[in-house]
């Protein structure tokens, strides 16, 4: 099986990314692992509605990074629950990125924060350090994704939504359950890892 070309996966037109980031910033949302401020990410006040395209664009970058680091974690995680989570997360990330690609969602290039997260996980010492770094990044990622899905679903639905908007809302509804579950799982695993210190 050949390795995917990650460089090709992590490119998108600058115009699309700029429009997407402008909408998220205006909506009070940060981009989690894609690099806007943590303060902005914490705020989920809706000043303007997000479209289904905005939702898809907000998910694909973190999901792509999650797939990359989870592939590594499947091999390197040592704590039983961290290793199990990595397997669950890898399957989720593959499914989400596959669906988003089929919906013609471009993958934004990694920004400095995402690259730093990837480098930190790749460089973590085997054992507990790796597990803590990986699970912490997954916790932060899923908090962002949960908040993005929640904000999108709270967006007012047009009187006659388009088929794409209906599909986006269906995707967000299903994904919200998984994102919320993974926030809870990673929080529990982090407590377990801290207790082992």
Q: What per-residue confidence (pLDDT) applies to 144?
A: 96
Taking the CB of residue 2, how many other CB atoms lie within 10 A of it?
4
Helix (H) or strand (E) holding 32: none
Q: What per-residue confidence (pLDDT) applies to 158?
A: 65
Report yes or no: 60 and 75 within 8 Å, Cβ to Cβ: no
Q: ∠ CA 152-156-161 to the nearest 5 degrees?
A: 95
Question: pLDDT (tens digit, 9 = 90+) per residue, 1-32?
Answer: 444 443 333 333 334 434 444 444 443 343 44
Examine the pLDDT at 49 and tell me if it is beyond 90: no
Examine the pLDDT at 44 and tell me if it is beyond 80: no
CATH of domain 6-195: 1.20.1260
Question: pLDDT (tens digit, 9 = 90+) per residue, 144-179?
Answer: 999 999 999 998 666 778 888 888 899 999 999 999
pLDDT band at 51 (very low <50, low <70, confident <90, very high): confident
- Least Cα distance to 29 among 155, 183, 117, 164 occurs for 155
Domain ranges of the chain: 6-195
Question: pLDDT (tens digit, 9 = 90+) per residue, 102-121?
Answer: 999 999 999 899 999 999 99
Q: What per-residue confidence (pLDDT) applies to 41?
A: 37
Q: What per-residue confidence (pLDDT) applies to 72?
A: 97
Question: pLDDT (tens digit, 9 = 90+) per residue, 125-144?
Answer: 999 999 999 999 999 999 99
Instruction: Calculate mean pLDDT across residues 71-90.
Output: 97
Mean pLDDT score of the chain: 80
Between 138 and 52, name the one with better pLDDT.
138
Q: Concatenated DSSP letters for 73-106? A: HHHH--SHHHHHHHHHHHHHHHHHHHHHHHTTPP
Q: Concatenated DSSP letters for 109-167? A: PP-HHHHHHHHHHHHSPTTHHHHHHHHHHHHHHHHHHHHHHHHHHHSPPPSS--HHHHH
Q: What per-residue confidence (pLDDT) applies to 196?
A: 87
């Amino acid at each position: 099986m050949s390795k995917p070309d990650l460089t090709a996966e992590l490119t998108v037109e600058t115009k699309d990314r700029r429009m997407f980031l402008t909408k998220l910033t205006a909506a009070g949302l940060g981009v989690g692992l894609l690099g806007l401020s943590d303060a902005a990410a914490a705020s989920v006040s809706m000043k303007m509605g997000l479209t289904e395209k905005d939702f898809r664009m907000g998910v694909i970058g973190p999901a792509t990074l999650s797939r990359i680091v989870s592939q590594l974690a499947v091999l390197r995680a040592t704590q039983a629950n961290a290793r199990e989570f990595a397997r669950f997360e890898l399957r989720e990330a593959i499914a989400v990125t596959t669906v988003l690609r089929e919906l013609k969602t471009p993958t934004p290039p990694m920004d400095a924060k995402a690259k730093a997260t990837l480098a930190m996980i790749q460089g973590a010492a085997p054992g507990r350090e790796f597990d803590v770094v990986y699970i912490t990044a997954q916790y932060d990622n899923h908090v962002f994704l949960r908040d993005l899905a929640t904000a999108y679903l709270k967006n007012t639905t047009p009187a006659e939504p388009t088929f794409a908007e209906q599909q986006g809302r269906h995707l967000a509804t299903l994904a919200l359950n998984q994102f919320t579950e993974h926030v809870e799982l990673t929080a529990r695993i982090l407590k377990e890892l801290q207790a082992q210190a």
